[in-house]
Structure 1
Amino acid sequence: MKRAVIIEGDGIGPEVIASAVQVLEAVSPGLEMVEGCMGLQCHTRTGSYLPQSTIDLLNDSDAALFGAITSPADRADYRSPLLSLRKSMDLYANIRPVKRLHPSVGLVDLDVVIVRENTEGMYTGEEREVPGGIVTERKVTEYACRRIVDKAIELCRADGGKKVTCVHKSNVLRRSDGLFREVFLDRMKGSGLEASELLVDAAAAALVSQPRKLDFLVTLNLYGDILSDEAAALAGGLGFAPSVNLGEKFALFEPTHGSAPDIAGMDLANPTAAILSAAMMLRYLGSGNAADRVEKAVPAALEQGIRTRDAGGSLGTREFTRRYLEVLSSC
């Protein structure tokens, strides 16, 4: 039996994860789910943003489904527990598929997968003071570049894709982004896939002006974070954007959106991204048919007018989930 850790997190996290858990229970009753704790509310209860008990659960499980966390504004020494997990568990690939799920949702007909290096770049957290300012240290290694490019190639092949596009800024960051570009071109040789490249600003424009020419994008940490949020906004909003933090032996799945504390507890959140993240987890755990059902039910629900407010509807989180489950039962 597969085991998944369920971590609600902060803000709207508990609401959207509750919806996703109902979906998991409906399509995969044999999945063992155990509760973990991480984030600001966890710190309030336990004194830790990431307790050892949660780390132990993760190390003894197959995957995790996570909501969102709120970062304290008044703690200069705060270190995100999610970033810590990505490093300690070597969750090196952040994979964010973005797809317009219905013609009436979003602005652009996107269907793209952004494969983002997840452990280095600008997210090292290494900052130091210099006279008159702050220096942030950016790390790019050949090893990290090689394995994220290889993961993009693997995913593109598995999906039947034909092209991988490297997104960089090597015209300015000649050594670090230049290394990433060189590794990409080298690893693409003999892959059987078309190698393409875009400067990050050109990639941002192409998501708007040439969306159907993009398939798989592979990029560094900060670029991937920004581009995936742009892509999600164009395809319907962060409420429709799932993701996974993937390592060699473990994967943590989460909606791309944040904790949205301004609407927490108001029954307003769109749980679709959490539901689609749960579908990604099911496929990772070997339940591809169940994952297909969950994903198929989303556009079917949208077609029937089952929508939260961000998608032009009027349903709250709980009512959306109830009606979505009715659609799911017939898929």
Structure 2
Amino acid sequence: MHHDVTLIPGDGIGPEVVDAARRVVEATGVPVRWDVQQLGRPALDDGASSALPEETLASVRRTGAALKGPVSTSPTGGFPSPNTGLRRALDVFAQVRPARSLPGVPTVFPGLDVAVIRETTEDLYAGIEFRAGSPGARAVVEAARRHGAALAEEAAVSLKPATEVAVRRTLDFALAWARQHGRRKVTVAHKATVMRATDGMFLEVGRELAARTPDLEIDDVLVDNLTALLVRRPEEVDVVVTTNQYGDILSDLVAGMSGGVGLAPGANHGPDVAVFEAAHGSAPRHAGTDRADPLGMVRCGALLLRHLGEDAAADRVDAAVADLLAEGRVRTYDLLPPGAPGAAGTRAVADALVARLTTHDGGPR
């Protein structure tokens, strides 16, 4: 029996780190049949009519799982964000980014173990924006003025939509994820004191669920207060569930606290599919240099294996990563002091992990 998985290399450093993750997954001996598809600029370069090709979407719908590299958004506005488009088209509405301190990785938060879950289809990242002076912006400004807002006529506008359906299913997902992973507490992060309609809805539904969920501790906190709590007493935070923009920021914060964004994995979940991608971006200036840290994507490979029901193989990948970091001999530049010699390349890190999986622990099984 084999597992069908869509493989999206992405752009920038994407192809290098995705190849490293693919090699590590294969080194576990779990049979995976990869369906390679393109997204973003690479898709257009291959002759696709869209940066979000229907062939790519169809592949993920068929396989139900994708390992995806970082994909750049056009800096000139030549095409919409393929990342946002992919999430919407596949209805992947909840993103999980776990962060925990790892052996051998310098951090002032050695006991960190936090997961950030964010809603990914709405909020300020929904892409409903109007440039200053456009008809849409003027209409929104006029409506805001009727409600007493003192907005300049030439204001640019971004809208922050929220629906109860999206809010409720994200909170339900967070509670189910916490139970499945043996977590003790879920914190609802919001700014309902200012955004009473949108964040107020998130808070209201969260408190409703808390009142009828006796098996989990559920609290809520203002998002700015949460950032202070995370850096002062992170042991008080377990699972955070929040809106799209706050979740993006908080997940990078806890990734940095754990030792670096280059180490941070992530998973996007929908009703029928899951897309696994690292927290870092495409870093085009490092593309093709064999310099990028592949461990975030490798750890996505472990999350993928768990999603496929291959828990033993996922444990072996996690153990190989932990052993490699604890040993400290093979590290990319981001895990060394600035300017320190001896940085390993992307391929060397993958080679070391593959060697551990195929030799040190007895080989694929």
Say yes or no: TM over 0.5. Answer: yes
String of CA shifts for 1:196-237, please: whole Å, max 9, x gaps. 111111111122111111100000000000010111111111
Q: RMSD of the alignment, in Å?
A: 1.4
In structure 1, the residue corresponding to 2:289 is in which secondary structure? coil
Deviation at 1:166, TM superposition (A): 0.5
**SS class of match (1:114):** strand
User: How far off its partner does 1:96 sit?
Assistant: 0.5
User: 1:328 offset after TM fit, Å?
Assistant: 2.8
| 1:263-322 residue CA offsets vs partner (Å, 9 max, x unmatched) | 111111000000000110111111111111111111110111121111116111111111
Between Structure 1 and Structure 2, which shows a larger proportion of strand residues? 1
Matched, 1:317 2:339: no
* Unmatched tracts of structure 1, length 5 or more: none
> Which runs of structure 2 are paired with 1:139-150 in the superposition (5 Å)?
139-150=161-172
Equivalent runs, 1:270-309 vs 2, <5 Å:
270-305=293-328, 306-309=330-333
1:189 Cα deviation after fit: 2.4
In structure 2, the partner of 1:118 is 120
Deviation by residue 1:69-97 (Cα, 9 ceiling, x = unmatched): 1222112x631112111111110101100
Whose Rg is larger? 2
CA contact (8 A) 1:9 1:42 kept: no
Alignment match, 1:163: 185
Note if contact 2:66-2:274 (Cα within 8 Å) is conserved in structure 1: yes
Instruction: Please report how far the alpha carbon of residue 103 of structure 1 lies from its aligned counterpart in structure 2 after TM superposition.
Output: 5.0
* Identity across the alignment (%): 38
Distance in 2 (alpha carbons) for counterparts of 1:223 and 1:205: 14
Per-residue CA deviation, residues 147-174 of structure 1 (Å, 9 max, x unaligned), is 1111111111112111100100011111
1:95 counterpart = 2:96: yes
Task: Point out 4+ residue stretches in structure 1 off by more than 6 angstroms.
Answer: none
Contact 1:106 1:237 in 2 (8 A): no
Aligned to 2:201: 179
AA in 1 matched with 2:54: Q
Structure 2: how far apart are the matches of 1:90 and 1:135? 26
Q: 1:106 and 2:107 equivalent?
A: yes
Any idea what SS the aligned residue of 2:34 has?
strand
Q: Of 279, 289, 292, which aligns to 1:256? A: 279
Structure 2 SS opposite 1:178: helix
Aligned to 1:200: 223
* Equivalent-residue separation in structure 2 for 1:142 and 1:217 (angstroms): 19
Which deviations, in whole Å up to 9, do the C-alpha atoms of 1:35-58 show, x marking residues without a partner? Answer: 010022222222431222212212
Q: Using the alignment, how far apart are the partners of 1:221 and 1:28 within structure 2?
A: 36
Structure 2 portions without partners, runs of 5+: 131-136, 139-152, 337-341
Instruction: Work out whether residues 104 and 327 of structure 2, in 8 Å CA contact, stay in contact via their aligned partners in 1.
Output: no
Number of residue pairs matched by the alignment: 330
Taking the aligned partners of 1:90 and 1:102, their CA distance within structure 2 comes to: 36
Structure 2 matches for 1:61-80, cutoff 5 A?
Answer: 61-75=63-77, 78-80=79-81
Which of 276-285 and 122-131 deviates more?
122-131
Rate the CA distance shift 1:103–1:206 in 2: closer, same or farther, 3 A: farther
Would the aligned equivalents of 1:254 and 1:274 in 2 still touch at CA under 8 Å?
yes
- Give the distance between the partners of 1:19 and 1:35, measured in 2 at CA: 15
State whether residues 13 and 259 of structure 1, in contact with CA within 8 Å, keep that contact through their aligned partners in structure 2.
Answer: yes
